[in-house]
Structure 1
Amino acid sequence: MDKFLTALQFLTRIRLVSQDTVAPETFGAAVRYFPLVGAVIGAILAAACRLADHNLPIHTLAAGLILLEIFLTGGLHCDGLMDSADGLMSGRSRERMLEIMKDSRVGAHGVIAFVALILVKWSLLLDLLTASPAPAAPLAALFAMPVLGRLAMVIVITSYPYARPEGIGKAFAVYAGRPALYIAAATAALLVAPLGPAGLAALATAALFAVAFGRYATRALGGLTGDTYGAVAETTEVIVLLIFVLFRNSCFW
């Protein structure tokens, strides 16, 4: 449980126990539980959607769900997306890209990426919330979205090198090990397979996208960083929502 709690308390604002110091090995061992942390986030989002349905205007509900996820994660992955966009879209050398990503200031590319992320998420959620043929589709999508976003993180953490000699994500990359990927993948599959063809299609697409993102980032930066871990989680969530929109008329729910 301590390793799961480490993952939960690192990836979210949820605090259940005090963990003043955590060994790097524990961080690495916690990686296998990332999809379970996603399931916690997804369950909260789906419950909030179910409770607020018919009580809030549809546009307000979609915006509220996005803000709730940002609150639950502390904006950690959004920050990584913005830093990654500033670096990867700068067109500079590898070393300069890494310097830009480490800068606490947000540039134009980061702002554009964040605004685009929120806009696309909001639009896809609206499409799901107004899809009368499958009224449970938004609940399934809200649950699967963070599960597969965290699975994508595990894929790039365990499959590609870390780009910096040190950093907050270094312990994940060094100590996770290949078994973490197998455990996380099996966990994610068990969680989303009951969601029908949309869940299976989202699982496959998320895995393929994570591999493509990892290869791209490795070519550009020589590896991945904590920021790119957050970026792959956020962009994978958008892809998952898109898959559920495309499959909303052929679901089992």
Structure 2
Amino acid sequence: MVKFLKYQWELFWLALGFFSRIPIPQSTPYSEERMNRSGRYFPLVGLALGAIVYAGYWAFSYVLPIEVAVLLTMILSVLLTGAFHEDGLADMADGIGGGMTVERRLEIMKDSRLGTYGTITLILALFLKWQLLVTLFGSSLISPVLVLLIGYGLSRAVAVTLIYDMKYVTDSAGSKSKPLAQRQTLAEFWCAIAIGVTPLIGIPPVPASIMLVSMMILRVLFQIWLDKRLGGFTGDCLGAVQQVSELTLYIIMLMMIQ
């Protein structure tokens, strides 16, 4: 049992090191197999990031107006993740928006330069997130910590479970996501979901069910869309799905408290 728990803890450290800029112990063992297995803890990384970001908001909101506090909170989030998911959203927007064939779309997505589609998508997404969080945090009907834990945890569960039943279409040997995205077992699929839905325990059953079903539908629609446009997924697509899922959850929360 001790060996099993130690292994799981090491997998979590790998996931934290991959999906964030938070330092992890240098002694953490690494292999492509372990990196692949660590994907189950992507939603747990989201919960950890959500907790840290909430702590930042709590401190900022004591001395600053809510609009400024939320903006600083978003900056903190980007610093913690290295804009990992936002970068994926922008790259996917450039690729799918600017390419007429699957090959061309994948080629554009590998380009480090930011294009028109990616720029517009990123600006609108960040502004929308700021506006949604300002409104949600200003409401007394839902706690900011729950908003962030649900948004950060469940959105990452939606993204990482795409690995289970989709084809990884990036063939670049230097792809950072390649060790993670090769395969996912059914047990890891359900582990990620179980972690991602945990924050929903903190809200009433009906809103929780609405958000859960909405994420299931969103996942199916994204899978169909990505299969049609790319023939599968890339690491950028996972980042994009995370961002879109997070924004969708905030929109649903806002609709339910109006």
Q: Calculate percent identity across the aligned residue pairs.
A: 32
Instruction: Quote how far apart the aligned CAs of 1:127 are.
Output: 1.2
In structure 2, C-alpha distance between the alignment counterparts of 1:24 and 1:151, rounded to whole Å? 21
Residue 159 of structure 2 is matched in structure 1 by 153
CA gap of 1:70–1:29, structure 2 versus 1, over 3 A, is same
Residue 15 of structure 1 is matched in structure 2 by 23
Match of 1:97 among 102, 105, 120: 105
Is 1:192 aligned to residue 197 of structure 2?
no
| Contact kept in structure 2, 1:155 and 1:211, CA below 8 Å | no
Q: Structure 2: which 5+ residue stretches go unaligned? A: 1-8
Q: Structure 1: which 5+ residue stretches go unaligned? A: none
Relative to the length of structure 1, the TM-score reads 0.91
Equivalent residue runs for 1:103-122 within 5 Å:
103-122=111-130
When the two structures are aligned, how many residues end up with a matched partner? 247
Equivalent residue runs for 1:137-216 within 5 Å:
137-166=143-172, 167-196=175-204, 197-216=206-225
Residue 10 of structure 2 is matched in structure 1 by 2
| Contact kept in structure 2, 1:24 and 1:175, CA below 8 Å | no
Match of 1:234 among 224, 243, 251: 243
Residue 4 of structure 2 is matched in structure 1 by none
In structure 2, C-alpha distance between the alignment counterparts of 1:181 and 1:205, rounded to whole Å? 18
- Opposite residue 233 of structure 2, the aligned amino acid is L
| Contact kept in structure 1, 2:163 and 2:183, CA below 8 Å | no
Relative to the length of structure 2, the TM-score reads 0.89
Across the aligned residues of Structure 1 and Structure 2, the Cα RMSD in angstroms comes to: 1.8
In structure 2, C-alpha distance between the alignment counterparts of 1:124 and 1:66, rounded to whole Å? 12
Match of 2:89 among 81, 101, 107: 81
| Contact kept in structure 1, 2:159 and 2:241, CA below 8 Å | yes
Instruction: Quote how far apart the aligned CAs of 1:91 are.
Output: 4.2
Instruction: Quote how far apart the aligned CAs of 1:66 are.
Output: 1.2
After superposition, give the CA deviation of every residue in 1:184-228 in whole Å (9 maximum; x if it has no partner). 111222332223343443233223212211221111111100111
**4+ residue runs of structure 1 moved beyond 6 angstroms?**
none
